[in-house]
Amino acid sequence: MSKDTLTVGLAQIAPVWLNRAKTLEKLYAYTADATAQGCDLVVFGEAILPGYPFWIERTNGAQFNSPVQKDIHAHYLDQAIQIEAGHLDELCALARQSRIAIYLGIYERPQDRGGHSGYASLVYIDKQGEIQSVHRKLMPTYEERLTWSPGDGNGLRTHSLGAFTVGGLNCWENWMPLPRAALYAQGEDLHVSVWPGGRRNTEDIAQFMAKEGRSYVIAVSGLMRKSDFPAETPHLDKILENCEDLLANGGSCLTAPDGSFVIEPQVGEEGLFTATIDHQKVRAERQNFDPVGHYSRPDVTQLVVNRERQSTIKLVD
């Protein structure tokens, strides 16, 4: 294989909803499958571990001080990921053993923010099994704000992966011009976008970002079917009362630097979709447009990025 090429896997899966342990088992299996298919990188959807907060719009999530909302939220926090507690250690070990990088969307419950609020975070694990960045979603979208907290810029980072420089954003962050620009400026030429699921979300922005950044763009979504709610889910009857059969239909895709599809949007199908990409195509498309190189004017416009991890306390001992 050429030094310019990289094999990527788009893992479009449904979680075992709000069950951290069982969803992790599914992630292990798909990571092993990606390894067997020769992937250098495997990507999972937004908050796939342990699942997206689908209950909010179906159970009057904006009702203040609701016992139902408190119960489900408490269960969500209980199943959240605490990196400090080692919840991703086995996945990191698998990445190291298999020599595969992983981008993974999680619902994070970080101790550095007190341990009782959750964030939609995008985690990058390198081929050595080390967590290199945890990007907390800058602005949760619409009803997500009822259970997800606003993040910070600490995870706006890129990483070297073979011939490529890879970075990523969560869901509608991909529509935010300045975070995109922050990653472009750090040399990104392989962009990862993760989504809860929906072709309507992925196909337009993936093609647009590929043309804007002259980069490959991976868009990976989750799936969610009515049958994916476990029987032990708190207040399941209320969730299912106004629940359609298919809540998230996927739409995972891969676009080339000219905006064409390498992998067309995959709708309604669970599976691992793979392709080999070639960095030569990035260099070719940058000939006529490079957003932070020859087609930029830093003397006129510049971006300032605060990557400090935000906290409510600074301890001086």
Residue 296 inside a domain? The answer is no
**Which residues are CB-neighbours of 79 under 8 A, at least 6 positions away?**
18, 19, 20, 50, 51, 107
Give the CATH number, domain containing residue 80: 3.60.110.10
Going residue by residue through the chain (317 aa), what tens digit of pLDDT does each one get? 689 999 999 999 999 999 999 999 999 999 999 999 999 999 999 999 999 999 999 999 999 999 999 999 999 999 999 999 999 999 999 999 999 999 999 999 999 999 999 999 999 999 999 999 999 999 999 999 999 999 999 999 999 999 999 999 999 999 999 999 999 999 999 999 999 988 999 989 999 999 999 999 999 999 999 999 999 999 999 999 988 999 999 999 999 999 999 999 999 999 999 999 999 999 999 999 999 999 999 999 999 999 999 999 889 99
Residues facing 253 on adjacent strands: 219
- On whether residue 66 sits in a domain, the answer given is yes
Domain count along the chain: 1
**Residue 4: what pLDDT?**
96
Q: Is residue 300 part of a domain?
A: no
On whether the CB atoms of residues 47 and 55 are closer than 8 A, the answer is no
d(Cα 211, Cα 259) in Å, to the nearest integer?
A: 5
DSSP 3-state of 34: helix
Q: Is residue 314 part of a domain?
A: no
Residue 85, domain member (yes or no): yes
In a domain, 310, yes or no: no
Res 1: pLDDT: 63
Q: By the 8 A CB rule, do 199 and 175 touch? A: no
Contacts with 76 (C-beta within 8 Å, 6 or more apart), sequence order: 18, 50, 53, 107, 118, 147
The answer to whether position 298 is within a domain reads no
Supply the pLDDT for residue 242. Answer: 84
Rounded to whole angstroms, the Cα distance separating 138 from 182 reads 13
d(CA 120, CA 136) in angstroms, rounded, equals: 6
CA distance 104 to 46: 7
Q: Which residue has the tokens 């309507």?
A: 200
Query: Cα 29 from chain centroid?
Result: 18
Residue 313 lies in a domain: no
Phi-psi region of 241 (alpha: psi -120 to 50; beta: other; left: phi over 0): alpha
Residue 12 lies in domain: 5-285
